[in-house]
Amino acid sequence: MEKIFVVKRVAETLWTTEDSIDATMEQTSALMSDVVQARKDLGTSHLLFDASISKVAEAMSALASARTAMMEAHHALYEVKLRLGVRQKLDGPGHWSVEEDHRAPDMSETTTRRVG
């Protein structure tokens, strides 16, 4: 099988996985909002819902970590693609290519500028 077809298949699976994590993060966020609203609507003590809110927050943190790991995998797979000699730009619907990601400004350093 030609390399480009294998690379394209892996890229499509990667994009689907990234989208799934994002969708799960959205659903978990909505769950958190619903749980907090349920406590208010029922007029119950904060203590009654504390454990469930804590667990949902823990799940959100785990999803954020999973998303970060997936982005790191994305960049690692980009390097694999290059080492295999595949130079075609692979863009999925709604996905930036890693080439475009590398051109994004580096946000790890803070700079200040005067405004006004």
Single-letter residue type at 70: M
> Helix, strand, coil shares of the chain as percentages rounded to 5?
70, 0, 30
Question: For residue 69, what are the domain limits?
Answer: 3-103
Instruction: Give yes or no for a contact between 35 and 49, defined as CB atoms under 8 angstroms apart.
Output: yes
Closest CA to 80 of 27, 2, 7, 29: 7
Is 112 inside a domain boundary? no
Confidence of residue 89 (pLDDT cuts 50, 70, 90): confident
Is 108 inside a domain boundary? no
Q: Is the pLDDT of residue 99 over 60?
A: no
What's the structural domain count of the chain?
Answer: 1
pTM for this entry: 0.73
Tokens of 39: 């406590």
Is 114 inside a domain boundary? no
